[in-house]
Every structure is written in C-alpha cells, then in structure tokens.
Structure 1
Amino acid sequence: MLCSAAGEKSALLWSMRSYTLIRKLEGHQSSVVSCDFSPDSALLVTASYDTYVILWDPCTGEQLRALSHVPLHQALDYGSDIHASSLRSVCFSPEGLYLATVADDRLLRIWALELRTPVAFAPITNGLCCTYFPHGGIIATGTRNGHVQFWTAPRMLSSLKHLCRKALRSFLTTYQVLSLPIPKKMKEFLTYRTI
C-alpha cells in the first residue's frame, strides 16, 4: 500500500500491485499534509491543518483514534490566524510506540501511543518536517529556512506483547487476524483496538 496526502481533506490509499485506488480516508476537516505508516504497517497516521492527528487501520479504513493538537502557548498572540497550531508533519518512531508532530505553534511534540497527550515538547521555529533516526532516540526536524535540528527523543523498551504484535502484524492483515481462532481480547490487542 501507498498513502498520498494531496492537500485535500482526505488521504488516499493505493495498491502497489494494481496501481489503483483502494480507499479514501475521510475524517479531517481541512487539508491533510502528512502521513506515515507504523513500522509493522498495521497503522497509518495522518496530520492535517485542522490540528488533528488521526490513527487509522489502513486495511479496513477504520478511524482508531484522533489526537487533538491544542496549542501549548495559549498566551501567545497569533492574531486571527486560525491555523496557529496547524500540523505540518507526523512520523512514527522505529519501534512504533511514539509519534512525533511538528506544528505552526512552534513546537515539536512527542506522543506515546498508549496516552492521549504529548509526553515531551521541544521549541522549533518555522517547523516543516520531522523524522526519527532509524534506530530511535533521535528526531530530526527541518525548517522553512533550510535548517535541520536534532532532538533527543524518549525511548521505551518494547514489551514482549508489543514485539509479538509487531512481528505478527508485519505479515498478517487485520482481516487475517480477525479470522484467527483466538480470544476477542487478543484480536483487539493485535489490531490496535486497545490503544
């Protein structure tokens, strides 16, 4: 699968076998500007100018969670600019337990998937994009004026449960997991319905 975000209120999922549109992911209220698959490809995250990050199941098109990107600096005067906290970029950490976002409110945020609030912040001016170092622990951010900054990111030792889920989801789709003869709670965990 390939995901494209073309500045519309939706993201598009494409088949890389047939080069055809699989589905349109609708749920944002403004332009989708960034997207990223989790390391096991079981999750897709999209970021939009509407200040929301949405976690999707790319196999079913189901919206799993929406994270609100509320400005931390309420006291700052952004004037009447409704896009003061518009998102610019989102990416998954290599172990798939964290997300990083860059927004126009001059902050890099790091979110733990299990929580609904950011766990770390860093000041960034004119932020445009972000990406994790392939082995984790470091995030690079790019700015509109061409600068790159590097940040230390929180690290978490993956639980055995998460490692097993990541290994299984690397080759099983949501539909394949749901058809397994296992308890419902295990299916919910393996399909990220418990996050």
Structure 2
Amino acid sequence: MLCSAAGEKSALLWSMRSYTLIRRLEGHQSSVVSCDFSPDSALLVTASYDACVIMWDPYTGEQLRTLRHVPLHSALDYSSEVHSSEVHTSSLRSVCFSPEGLYLATVADDRLLRIWALELRSPVAFAPMTNGLCCMYFPHGGFIATGTRDGHVQFWTAPRVLSSLKHLCRKALRTFLTTYQVLALPIPRKLKEFLTYRTF
C-alpha cells in the first residue's frame, strides 16, 4: 500500500499492485499534511492542521487512537500573531514512527518536537524548535532529524527502548500478515486484539 496526504481532510490509500484507490481515510477536521506506516505496516498515522494525529488500521480503515496536541503556553511567544489564531499554534507539520515501532515523533507550529510512546496518550519527551517543518528517525533509532522552514537541519537524541519479546513477535507476524489474516487465526480473542494493536 501507499498512503498519500495532499492537503485535503482525508488521506488516500492506494494499492501498489493494481495502482487503484483502496479507500479514503476520513476523520480529520482540517488538511492532512503528513503520514507514516509503522515498521511492520500494521499501523498508519496521519497528522493534520487540526492538531491531531490519528492512528489507523490501514487494512480495515478503522481509527484506533487519536493523539491531540495541546499547546504548552509557556513555550509560546505571545505575539499578536499567536493571539489572533490560537488554533494554528499547534497545527501539525510532520509525524514519523521510530524504527522499532514503539514511538512517534511529531513537529507542530507551537515550536515543539514531541515524542510519544505508542502505548500512551501523552508525550514522553519535548524539545523546543523554531519553524519546524518535518521530522525523521535515524534508521537504527536513538536520533531524530528535524528540518525547518529556513533550511536548517537539527539532530536530537530520542528515547531508546529494548523491545519486549511480545512486541518483537507481534512485529514479526504483522510484517507478513494482514489484519484479516490475524483475525482468521484459531487463537484466543485477547491475542488477536494484541496482534492487531487493539489493546492500547
């Protein structure tokens, strides 16, 4: 699959076999500007100007979780421009998964880089940055690169985690099994929920 975010309120999922539209992911209230698949392809995240990240099951189109960006007022410069449109202060610009699939990084207009743990609904780390535009994890983890509107790149240390055996098994299985294939397995319901990321 390929996901495209073209500034509309929805993201589009495309088949790379038939080059046709699979489904339109609708749920954001403003333009979707960034998207990323988890390393095992079992999850898709989309970021929007509505200050929300939505986590999807790309196989079913189901929304699994919404992460809301709440501006940290102490981090903002209270200029007249900020007061004129509070909603834009936390507009998202970019989202990406960490290589092991346990963290997300987001860049927003409130001048913060946030790092989120997959199992939590609030950020676990922040970093101040100005004019943030995009972010990307180092392929082996531990570092995040961020790009700014004025052409600079900054590098940040990121939390490192040793994946649990449970997560490693889930990641290995989900790399080659779709959600529908997991649900068809003759295994307990709770195990199916874990393998399909329904146990947040």
TM range (shorter): over 0.9
- Partner in structure 2 of residue 92 of structure 1: 97
* SS of the residue 1:79 aligns to: helix
The alpha-carbon deviation at position 157 of structure 1 amounts to 0.5
Task: Write out the 4+ residue segments of structure 1 that deviate beyond 3 Å after TM superposition.
Answer: none
- Shift in Å, 1:111: 0.1
Tell me, in whole angstroms, the C-alpha distance in 1 between the residues paired with 2:149 and 2:73. 21
Equivalence for 1:80: 84
Q: Which moved more, 1:42-51 or 1:67-76?
A: 67-76
Aligned match for 2:122, one of 117, 138, 145: 117
Question: Which one of 117, 136, 142 corresponds to residue 137 of structure 1?
Answer: 142
What's the CA shift for 1:66? 0.2
Task: Give 1:73 deviation, angstroms.
Answer: 1.9
Cα deviation for residue 145 of structure 1 reads: 0.2
Distance 1:124 1:194 in 2: 33
Residue 191 of structure 2, aligned match among 182, 186, 190: 186
Query: TM-score normalised to the size of structure 2?
Result: 0.96
The one-letter code of the counterpart of 1:59 is Y
Amino acid in the other structure paired with 1:58: P
2:28 aligns to what? Answer: 28
What amino acid is aligned across from residue 121 of structure 1 in structure 2?
F
Aligned residue pairs total 195
User: Aligned AA for 1:28?
Assistant: H
Letter in 1 for 2:6: A
Report the RMSD for the aligned CA atoms in angstroms. 0.8
Give 1:66's aligned residue. Answer: 66
Percent of pairs with identical residues: 86
Bigger proportion of residues as helix: 2
Whichever residue aligns with residue 113 of structure 2, its letter is L
The answer for unaligned runs of 5 or more in structure 1 is: none
Aligned position for 1:45: 45
Instruction: After superposing the two structures, state which structure 1 stretch, 127-136 or 67-76, moved more.
Output: 67-76
Q: Distance in 2 between matches of 1:40 and 1:134?
A: 14
- Cα deviation for residue 76 of structure 1 reads 4.3
Q: Distance in 2 between matches of 1:48 and 1:116?
A: 17
| Aligned amino acid, residue 80 of structure 1 | S
Distance 2:123 2:199 in 1: 18
TM-score (norm 1): 0.99
Q: For residue 62 of structure 1, what is the amino acid of its counterpart? A: E
User: Quick one: distance in 1 between partners of 2:14 and 2:174?
Assistant: 19
The one-character-per-residue Cα deviations of 1:150-189 (angstroms, maximum 9, x if unpaired) are 0000011000000000000000000000000000000000
5+ unaligned residues in a row in structure 2: which ranges? none
- Deviation of residue 72 (structure 1)? 1.2
The residue type paired with residue 33 of structure 1 is V
Write the deviation string for residues 75-110 of structure 1: whole angstroms up to 9, x where unpaired: 642112221100000000000000000000000000
Amino acid aligned to 1:25: L
